[in-house]
Chains A and B, each alone.
Chain A
């Protein structure tokens, strides 16, 4: 199929370096993407080149470590656009907000493994001024690349073009509302490594990573202590002795998708920090007390929730708690050097009981 034409129309060499390419080259090269966690750094430093404008689809600055830093960086841009379902905190910062419709209001071609395809049918027309996010992309493309024959068409025409080598048309898929088996799509070849080898520098299955070695890392997956931990930074741990784990999952939420539903929010309405009773007692904290959780970057106020799910020495804070944004107390460059992923699960903090008068 021709979907790659849409994901990467030009080779990387013909384009500006990906965001994060200078700091996380292994990630950028291996995954073939930018490392978006590096965005605030590049906006602030203008290195290796300045960023002037940004169009986000479901952009959410609150998922960045140092969410306040990311929020400030976004507001420094000359032009900021967000395409979103909701008027989110990030959308409120934008020069322009384009309302996207939900999946109930648009069609979408989905292709699953085992050659199963489905072209979904909308249940209702898009509400208000909202449009499907792909329609927004095509409207933009018509203005940015008016000479492109394909991008000046529409979503359905492009799906037809992608599926053309297989002789599949969207209009044929429309008759199968629950999807159908696409016999013209080739199954992945069996034991294809015998012919092409593996996508590694040696072409073989590598027990040690020659790519990591070339970048100066251990070739084997060795354990490295987090940047801040009682072992790696004992002097910092004297002031901040607890390990902070953030963003664990609650069973009623799928990422942040259902955060806005009052029925679900009610199941755990308080902004709480989960801590072991042993750590609570050591600090004179009782279950239900108001406490301050501090890191070297900042502090937030929460309610202490005693639980043995977290072992002594560790506290756990879920994300999107009203009035207590845990990402705002994580340094924005607290990232894994190889992947650029934030160290949301391993940093240091302290919990202190708030005095009655400060309530």
Chain B
């Protein structure tokens, strides 16, 4: 089974929150309800507290391999398909919030009608060969999307290319440093 996943490079995220706005746009979230993606900040200080390192984390549903929300849903409204996408059938949802309790990432959101709503990897866009809205809009390319094995392979390729380049230009590299 393929498993579609988001990838996230924490060193690239600038915390601009364009991913949240794109998510709200794509999913027509116009009410007070929250987008399916959130950005949180992490502040790390050195021992003397004179400096502060700021990082951002953009998170949505992880579409877990063994998704707890699927297991706890008493109405069988949440399913995981052959592409690994965890989605909710809102006609079946009874609004009991069990998924919210089970989810370790706070992914399930509840719209004004009391039923659960969540990230579905922008199913309509992906079907049409497009990237999910949040990935498409990410200007620093911190967010990525694709099958799990491909993303891992690409990352490995990228890292090894860098290492080989550094080795090839070893003299130059050492000179510069």
Compute the total of residue contacts between A and B using a CB distance below 8 Å.
32
**Knowing A262-B30, A264-B21 touch, does A308 contact B43 (C-beta < 8 A)?**
yes
| Residue B156 lies at the interface, judged by CB distance under 8 Å to chain A | no
| Residue B52 lies at the interface, judged by CB distance under 8 Å to chain A | yes
Proximity bits, A264-297, B CB within 8 Å = 1, else 0 = 1011000000000010000000000000000000
B52 & A309 in contact (Cβ 8 Å cutoff) = yes
Expressed in whole angstroms, the Cα–Cα distance for A266 and B30 within the complex equals 10
**A-side interface mostly:** loop
Expressed in whole angstroms, the Cα–Cα distance for A262 and B34 within the complex equals 12
How many residues of chain A have a CB within 8 Å of chain B? 13
Q: Which residues of B contact A339 (CB under 8 A)?
A: none
| Residue A128 lies at the interface, judged by CB distance under 8 Å to chain B | no
Closest to A258 in B: B21
Closest to B15 in A: A251
**Residue of B14, B25, B50 touching A263 (CB-CB under 8 A):** B25
A267 & B43 in contact (Cβ 8 Å cutoff) = no
| Residue A307 lies at the interface, judged by CB distance under 8 Å to chain B | yes
| Residue A252 lies at the interface, judged by CB distance under 8 Å to chain B | yes
Within 8 A of B (CB), among A309-329: 309, 311-312
B16 & A251 in contact (Cβ 8 Å cutoff) = yes
Expressed in whole angstroms, the Cα–Cα distance for A201 and B54 within the complex equals 46
> What is the distance, in angstroms, from B46's C-beta to the closest C-beta of chain A?
10
Proximity bits, A232-265, B CB within 8 Å = 1, else 0 = 0000000000000000000110000000001110
Q: Which residues of A contact B24 (CB under 8 A)?
A: 263, 266
Chain B interface size, as a band, is: 10 to 19
Q: Which residues of A contact B113 (CB under 8 A)?
A: none
> What is the distance, in angstroms, from B7's C-beta to the closest C-beta of chain A?
22
Within 8 A of A (CB), among B1-39: 14-18, 20-21, 24-25, 29-30, 32, 34
> What is the distance, in angstroms, from B12's C-beta to the closest C-beta of chain A?
14
Closest to B45 in A: A308
Q: Which residues of B contact A252 (CB under 8 A)?
A: 16-18, 21
Expressed in whole angstroms, the Cα–Cα distance for A311 and B48 within the complex equals 12
Q: Which residues of B contact A312 (CB under 8 A)?
A: 49
Within 8 A of A (CB), among B105-151: none
Proximity bits, B34-75, A CB within 8 Å = 1, else 0 = 100000000101000110101000000000000000000000
Expressed in whole angstroms, the Cα–Cα distance for A309 and B53 within the complex equals 8
A251 & B17 in contact (Cβ 8 Å cutoff) = yes
**Residue of B20, B25, B30, B43 touching A309 (CB-CB under 8 A):** B43
> What is the distance, in angstroms, from B35's C-beta to the closest C-beta of chain A?
8
Q: Which residues of B contact A262 (CB under 8 A)?
A: 30
Closest to B56 in A: A251
Q: Which residues of A contact B50 (CB under 8 A)?
A: 311
Q: Which residues of B contact A309 (CB under 8 A)?
A: 43, 52, 54
Closest to B52 in A: A308
Expressed in whole angstroms, the Cα–Cα distance for A263 and B23 within the complex equals 10
Q: Which residues of B contact A311 (CB under 8 A)?
A: 50
- Please list the 4 inter-chain residue pairs (A to B) with the smallest Cβ-Cβ separation, ordered nearest first: A251-B16, A308-B52, A308-B43, A263-B24
* Residues of B near any A CB (own CB < 8 A): 14-18, 20-21, 24-25, 29-30, 32, 34, 43, 45, 49-50, 52, 54
User: Can you show 11 pairs from A to B with CB atoms below 8 A apart?
Assistant: A252-B16, A252-B21, A263-B24, A263-B25, A263-B30, A266-B24, A266-B34, A267-B20, A278-B49, A309-B52, A309-B54
* Residues of A near any B CB (own CB < 8 A): 251-252, 262-264, 266-267, 278, 307-309, 311-312
